[in-house]
Protein backbone atom coordinates (compact mmCIF):
# COMPACT_ATOMS: atom_id res chain seq x y z
CA UNK A 1 0.00 0.00 0.00
CA UNK A 2 2.08 2.84 -1.28
CA UNK A 3 -0.56 5.27 -2.52
CA UNK A 4 -3.41 6.94 -0.66
CA UNK A 5 -5.94 5.36 -3.07
CA UNK A 6 -4.76 1.86 -2.14
CA UNK A 7 -4.92 2.59 1.58
CA UNK A 8 -8.32 4.24 1.18
CA UNK A 9 -9.74 1.23 -0.65
CA UNK A 10 -8.32 -1.15 1.96
CA UNK A 11 -9.75 0.83 4.88
CA UNK A 12 -13.19 1.11 3.28
CA UNK A 13 -13.30 -2.66 2.85
CA UNK A 14 -11.97 -3.30 6.36
CA UNK A 15 -14.38 -1.08 8.24
CA UNK A 16 -17.31 -2.01 6.02
CA UNK A 17 -17.09 -5.56 7.40
CA UNK A 18 -15.86 -4.75 10.91
CA UNK A 19 -19.02 -2.74 11.62
CA UNK A 20 -21.70 -5.02 10.14
CA UNK A 21 -24.68 -2.69 10.62
CA UNK A 22 -25.85 -0.45 7.75
CA UNK A 23 -24.08 2.91 7.41
CA UNK A 24 -25.88 6.01 8.63
CA UNK A 25 -24.73 8.02 5.62
CA UNK A 26 -24.41 6.60 2.13
CA UNK A 27 -21.23 7.33 0.26
CA UNK A 28 -21.41 9.55 -2.77
CA UNK A 29 -20.32 8.19 -6.12
CA UNK A 30 -17.00 10.07 -5.97
CA UNK A 31 -15.01 7.42 -4.05
CA UNK A 32 -16.33 4.59 -6.23
CA UNK A 33 -13.70 5.39 -8.88
CA UNK A 34 -10.95 4.67 -6.36
CA UNK A 35 -12.62 1.42 -5.36
CA UNK A 36 -12.89 0.24 -8.94
CA UNK A 37 -9.22 0.97 -9.64
CA UNK A 38 -8.01 -0.62 -6.38
CA UNK A 39 -10.61 -3.37 -6.03
CA UNK A 40 -8.10 -6.01 -4.86
CA UNK A 41 -7.14 -3.82 -1.88
CA UNK A 42 -10.84 -3.34 -1.11
CA UNK A 43 -11.38 -7.12 -1.09
CA UNK A 44 -8.26 -7.68 1.03
CA UNK A 45 -9.62 -5.16 3.53
CA UNK A 46 -12.95 -6.99 3.61
CA UNK A 47 -11.20 -10.30 4.22
CA UNK A 48 -9.05 -8.95 7.03
CA UNK A 49 -12.06 -7.15 8.51
CA UNK A 50 -14.02 -10.41 8.58
CA UNK A 51 -11.17 -12.26 10.31
CA UNK A 52 -10.83 -9.42 12.83
CA UNK A 53 -14.58 -9.48 13.50
CA UNK A 54 -14.44 -13.25 14.11
CA UNK A 55 -11.52 -12.84 16.53
CA UNK A 56 -13.37 -10.11 18.43
CA UNK A 57 -16.49 -12.27 18.70
CA UNK A 58 -14.44 -15.28 19.85
CA UNK A 59 -12.74 -13.10 22.46
CA UNK A 60 -16.09 -11.86 23.74
CA UNK A 61 -17.41 -15.42 23.90
CA UNK A 62 -14.34 -16.60 25.80
CA UNK A 63 -14.56 -13.66 28.22
CA UNK A 64 -18.24 -14.37 28.81
CA UNK A 65 -17.49 -18.03 29.46
CA UNK A 66 -14.77 -17.13 32.00
CA UNK A 67 -16.96 -14.60 33.78
CA UNK A 68 -19.95 -16.94 34.04
CA UNK A 69 -18.01 -19.91 35.44
Find all residues with CB under 8 Å of 6, minimum gap 6, and list them.
38, 41
Query: pLDDT for 10-44, tens place per residue?
Result: 888 898 888 877 766 565 555 566 667 788 888 89
Report the domain count for the chain: 1
Instruction: Please tell me the pTM assigned to this model.
Output: 0.75
**pLDDT range class, residue 54, cuts 50, 70, 90:** very high
Mean pLDDT of 39-61: 92
Taking the C-alpha atoms of residue 31 and residue 66, their distance in angstroms, rounded to an integer, is 44
Structural domain for 39, as ranges: 4-68
- Exposure string of 4-43, with b = 16+ CB inside 10 Å and e = fewer, is ebbebbbebbbeebeeeeeeeeeeeeeeeebbeebeebbe
Provide the 10 A C-beta neighbour count for residue 60: 10
The confidence band for 57, taking pLDDT boundaries of 50, 70 and 90, is very high
Amino acid sequence: MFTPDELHSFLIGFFEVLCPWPPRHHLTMAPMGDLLKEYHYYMAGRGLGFITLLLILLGIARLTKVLLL
